[in-house]
Amino acid sequence: MTPKENALHIIRFGRPECVVAGPPCHGIGFFGVNHEAADGVSHTGPIGCCWTDIWGTVWKKEQEGMMGFPVSFPLAKREALASYRWPDTTNDEHLLAPIYSGAKALGERQVFLGGSHRNALWERACQLVGMETLMERFFTDPSYIRDLFHHIMDFHLGIAAHYLKLGVEMIFCSDDLGTQLGPLIGPDMLRDFFVPEYRRLFGLYHEHRVLINFHSCGNVEQVVPIFLDLGIHIINPVQATANHLDALRQQTAGRLVLQGGISSKTLMDGPPEAIVAEVRQRLWQLGRDGGYFCGPDQHMPFPPGHLEAMNEAIQQHGRYPIGEDAASAD
């Protein structure tokens, strides 16, 4: 099988040859998808740097190897929404050029063409308004939240039109909906405020048979029924210390692919023997019946030797059929 064919067998709970870390993908995105400023300054800058992204959010980087955090919000005041100028997904060549140049660079490689919808709804709203203020407005001004969410999703639908024009096969959508112990937003509020907007975007992609890979850190067990209802195909990063992984696999078996699951603490602390043991455990626990991409449950500056140990263990022990001896790592 080609890597792409193998990934499709994983996604379809079919008969893949082996487990891999993630779908082989050539990603494209609009300018600003990674919070960069007009002059290109972003999270890769030095500690202490500040910049303003295309949305008007001000960011500051405070730790090496980690992304910055928003410190000033263009829609913090309620009245600012009425006059706010949303990024133009129709005529802004600077915004759109990276999408087309990125797709052109794909060539003939046997990988998915993937489009990014980073910070799709919840996180974008937090970056525009501020999390505390946004939380308050769910209760004090729900019509404001609906209006804001609708505008944000209008932007993503505009971007989706360009992705579809280029033949995108998978999209990467992110919203951190979980904390370490449970959902950040309750399921009832998610269904009320979020699902109608997610459905607008995901429904469009379903019409074109595009795969949906959804990122949410934290505990997602209570949100899984919503993911299933929305027709999401893959969830990542399956945070090992925040979820009951056996229960999560039982919820999703045959229906929703899991990506991640290797504890960032184990990967950071090691030793390599512990990393290998956890890889073997996860392969059996989450992947013995397919539907699993094995990799880190966070993106962090892990020691290179620890990542090498993980990758070698996946390659060595991740060939199907997954042996029952992997369960001995429990």
- As averages over each run of 10 residues, the pLDDT of the chain (330 residues) reads 95 95 96 91 90 96 88 97 96 96 84 96 98 97 98 98 97 96 93 98 98 97 96 97 96 97 97 98 96 95 96 96 63
**What pLDDT shows up at residue 47?**
92
Q: Quote the pTM value.
A: 0.94
Reading the block at residue 101, the tokens are 């140049």
**What pLDDT shows up at residue 329?**
45
**What pLDDT shows up at residue 171?**
98
**What pLDDT shows up at residue 330?**
43
**What pLDDT shows up at residue 326?**
55
- For residues 70 and 58, what is the distance between their CA atoms, to the nearest angstrom? 6
Residue 306 near residue 272, CB atoms below 8 Å: yes
Which residues, in sequence order, are CB contacts of 128 under 8 Å at separation 6+?
A: 55, 56, 57, 73, 74, 75, 148, 152
Domain 3-45+82-236: assigned CATH number: 3.20.20.210
Q: Establish how many alpha carbons lie within 13 A of residue 263's alpha carbon, considering only the half-sphere containing its beta carbon.
A: 19
Residue among 228, 192, 232 at smallest CA distance from 214: 232
